[in-house]
């Protein structure tokens, strides 16, 4: 197949259908939303989500926003306290992301929420994004479609210049109307916290939320302390282990007879990234059940996605 890469799709029915097909195949599709362009992948497909991190060149796994078509789809994925329902009625579809308790059986790949018990979710208003979500019929994980550390893209050309052939297709829906990322609000029971200022002003939210407490440190969930407090395993994690410690729960990478778990028997970093959080949870559970106090992880090469994997393991072993 010698299709031009990335495919540039028009926001017509044929382009929408193609975008949905590519998502179904585990592809990466950049799509316009009213805020900024998102780099979309099937949120239930860990390998596809791993490719998102790879394409952005993110040095760490900070969690992604899940995009869905309607509030029924939200309710399948997350718990919706009354306050969240009120915000949904008032502002969705639109430039608001809610961080809500994740339903564990929702089928969302562990890598999307980076192992957190919460999920960031929104219903975008852009007609092209909505058409893709409806044609695809599932949740789409999408961070802004820029390389890590660069500014968010508001046109298809920005995406093309930034990500080039690392994305399978770009759906060209013109310039984004809002041009600013969504406002992120975490809802916990009856209280709300503002995590990121964005396209929806706080003045619009506060009649419903009351005075919003701020938790605005940029990249807040990236801060090591934050990650550790949220999901450090109880057992002590050792990196770069030769897996000779038979009294540890062992996680291999590459061929390994001894390991109880394996990130990727074939040594594939994408597969390893897709499995990382699920395996850490599983290894921690096994350690608890068997009364073992440590988890040993084989060396993971520090290249490409391996850097983000090692970053996560470092935080877990700190
Ligand atoms: O407008 C937008 O929000 C765009 C479009 C594509 O929807 N998306 C976007 O995604 O800006 P991204 O990945 O660039 O930013 C998502 C932010 C990150 O700062 C991440 O830390 C935060 O959302 N986030 C995601 N899940 C979270 C969670 N469970 N708890 C706290 N923060 C979370
Ligand atoms: Mg971003």
- What pLDDT digit, counting tens, does each position of 39-66 carry? 999 999 999 999 999 999 988 888 999 9
Distance 114 CA to ligand 1 centre (A): 12
Beta bridge partners of 296: 238, 250
pTM beyond cutoff 0.85? yes
Phi-psi region of 220 (alpha: psi -120 to 50; beta: other; left: phi over 0): alpha
Residue 46 CA to chain centroid, in angstroms?
10
> Ligand 1 atom closest to Cα of 145?
6
CB neighbourhood size of 145 (10 A): 30
Compute the average pLDDT of residues 4-26. Answer: 96
CB neighbourhood size of 211 (10 A): 8
Distance 265 CA to ligand 2 centre (A): 32
> Ligand 1 atom closest to Cα of 181?
1
**Cα–Cα dist 121/76, whole Å:** 12
Compute the average pLDDT of residues 240-263. Answer: 95
Residue 317 CA: distances (Å) to CA of 228, 235, 250: 9, 9, 14
> Ligand 1 atom closest to Cα of 220?
21
pLDDT at 226: 39
83-124 tens-digit pLDDT: 999 999 999 999 999 999 999 899 999 999 998 999 999 999
Distance 249 CA to ligand 1 centre (A): 33
**At residue 117, what are phi and psi to the nearest 5 degrees?**
-80, 0
Average per-residue pLDDT for the chain: 91
Residue from 29, 60, 64 whose mutation best tests the ligand 1 pocket (most atoms within 8 A of CB): 64
Whether 181 lines ligand 1, by a CB cut-off of 6 Å, is yes
pLDDT at 201: 87
Whether 49 lines ligand 1, by a CB cut-off of 6 Å, is no
Whether 182 lines ligand 1, by a CB cut-off of 6 Å, is yes
Confidence class of residue 268 from pLDDT cuts 50, 70 and 90? very high
Q: Which ligand is nearest to the CA of 151?
A: 2
Whether 154 lines ligand 1, by a CB cut-off of 6 Å, is no
CB 190 within 8 A of CB 83: yes
Distance 118 CA to ligand 2 centre (A): 18
Whether 133 lines ligand 1, by a CB cut-off of 6 Å, is no
Whether 64 lines ligand 1, by a CB cut-off of 6 Å, is yes
Tokens, residue 141: 């994980």
CB neighbourhood size of 117 (10 A): 10
Higher pLDDT, 277 or 287: 287
Whether 125 lines ligand 1, by a CB cut-off of 6 Å, is no
147-154, long-range: CB < 8 A, 24+ apart = 147/56, 147/57, 148/56, 148/57, 148/58, 148/59, 152/36, 152/37, 152/181, 153/30, 153/36, 153/37, 154/36, 154/37, 154/179
């Amino acid at each position: 197949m010698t299709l031009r890469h990335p495919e540039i799709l028009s926001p017509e029915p044929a382009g929408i259908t193609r975008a949905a097909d590519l998502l179904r195949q585990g592809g990466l599709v950049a799509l316009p939303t009213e805020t900024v362009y998102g780099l979309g992948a099937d949120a239930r497909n860990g390998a596809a989500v791993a490719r998102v991190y790879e394409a952005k060149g993110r040095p760490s796994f900070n969690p992604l926003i899940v995009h869905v078509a309607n509030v029924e789809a939200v309710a399948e994925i997350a718990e919706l306290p009354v306050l969240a329902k009120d915000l949904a009625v008032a502002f969705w579809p639109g430039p608001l992301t809610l961080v809500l308790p994740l339903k564990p059986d929702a089928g969302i790949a562990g890598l999307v929420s980076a192992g957190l018990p919460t999920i960031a979710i929104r219903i975008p208003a852009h007609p092209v994004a909505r058409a893709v979500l409806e044609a695809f019929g599932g949740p789409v994980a999408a961070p802004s479609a820029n390389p890590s550390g660069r500014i968010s893209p508001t046109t298809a050309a920005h995406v093309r210049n930034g990500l080039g052939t690392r994305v399978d297709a770009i759906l060209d829906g013109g310039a984004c109307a809002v041009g600013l990322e969504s406002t992120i609000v975490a809802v916990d029971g009856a209280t709300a916290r503002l995590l990121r200022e964005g396209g929806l002003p706080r003045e619009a939210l506060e009649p419903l939320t009351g005075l919003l407490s701020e938790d605005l440190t940029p990249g807040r969930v990236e801060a090591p302390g934050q990650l550790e407090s949220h999901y450090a395993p109880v057992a002590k994690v050792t990196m770069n282990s030769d897996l000779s410690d038979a009294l540890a729960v062992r996680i291999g990478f590459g061929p390994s007879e001894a390991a109880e778990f394996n990130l990727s028997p074939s040594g594939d970093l994408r597969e390893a990234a897709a499995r990382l959080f699920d395996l850490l949870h599983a290894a921690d559970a096994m350690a608890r059940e068997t009364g073992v106090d440590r988890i040993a992880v084989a060396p993971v090469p520090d290249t490409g996605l391996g850097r983000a994997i090692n970053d996560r393991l470092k935080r877990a072993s700190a």
